[in-house]
A = this chain, B = another copy of it.
């Protein structure tokens, strides 16, 4: 069992300003969101999900996304991504200057119904006009598949189902498929089964893993995915977010913890760990919450006795 086949470079997709903040309860000023995105870009992150063009009635935390996109200092080589659930959202994102957009489907019928009020098939149909408009505007589209390892309503999800939805999003034109362990119940064996199933038809370099740390398994799962050739990982600075299905439980894996793992494995990523730690702690201070990154907590506590 040797690790010489680990990827040499990993792309980190920072989802804190969107997936993270949208699950935080406290109101956040637009200027603070802008400062966070700018700090993350300065830290070297190359893809930053910076907002969501959903109906603010449903996701009030993302209401100011236009202002966020208008206020950020664009940095060359950085992609500022936006979540776009429908055509109206896509048009708003394009207008706001998002450099890529993301759409989302679930691998669980029950989750699809509860989350976006339609079947999986209907959700993919609904994306067709977005895909067409995105092609016309030359905007890359990323596809999220949620509940790849478990669903809060259905429980276990068949890897074949994940492969099927992934294939449909890829065929529809998504340049990358992000496999989301939405409730964090997956363990390395399950992640392996999912990746095995999906890579039967899709190349592994089109896949990302979106790991949640609700059960503490995120880094073990990411490590397994690295061994299987996955080289794109979603993470959230300071572990911002949390689990909407379990008050007090962890959500997105922390970017800092992911970086620490990659550093230890000698895998390049181009991100300055300390700068991410600082950006995350500033946002935690604003939110009045504890930092969900163990690396950040250890570094900030100066674990090394100097």
CA distance A300 to B185 in the complex (A): 14
Q: Flag whether A247 is at the interface (Cβ < 8 A).
A: yes
Interface flag for A173 (CB, 8 Å) = no
Stretch at the interface among A36-44, A54-62, A93-101, A254-262: A254-262
A157-170 vs B: 1/0 string, CB under 8 Å?
Answer: 00000000000000
A243 to B293, CA, bound (A): 15
Q: Point out the residue from B223, B247, B297, B298 that lies within 8 Å of A188, measured CB to CB.
A: B223
Output the residue of A155, A223, A260, A265 with the most chain B CB within 10 A: A223
Residue interface mask A242-278, B partner, CB < 8 A = 1: 0101111110001001001101111000000000000
Q: Which residues of B contact A183 (CB under 8 A)?
A: 303-304
Please, which residues of chain B bring their CB within 8 A of the CB of A293? Answer: 216
User: Is the beta-carbon distance between B213 and A294 smaller than 8 angstroms?
Assistant: yes
- The SS class assigned to the A binding surface is loop
Residue of B nearest to A261 (CB): B187
- Residues of B contacting A186 with CB < 8 Å? 264
Q: Which A residues, 45 to 98, have Cβ-Cβ distances below 8 Å to chain B?
A: none
**A249 and B152 contacting across the interface, CB-CB below 8 Å:** no
Contacts of A224 in B (CB 8 A): 223
A153 at the interface (CB under 8 A from B): yes
Given contacts A189-B265, A219-B220, A220-B222, 10 further A-B contacts (CB under 8 A): A1-B1, A152-B304, A186-B264, A215-B257, A217-B264, A246-B298, A248-B301, A249-B294, A249-B298, A250-B298
- Contacts A/B (CB < 8 Å), 29 sampled: A1-B228, A3-B188, A3-B189, A152-B303, A155-B304, A183-B303, A184-B298, A187-B261, A187-B263, A188-B265, A189-B264, A189-B265, A214-B303, A215-B257, A215-B295, A215-B298, A216-B219, A216-B254, A223-B224, A243-B301, A246-B297, A246-B298, A248-B297, A248-B301, A249-B297, A249-B298, A250-B294, A250-B297, A250-B298
Q: Hey, which bits of chain A sit against chain B, CB under 8 A?
A: 1, 3, 5, 152-153, 155, 183-190, 192, 213-217, 219-220, 222-224, 227-228, 243, 245-250, 254, 257, 260-261, 263-266, 293-295, 297-298, 301-305
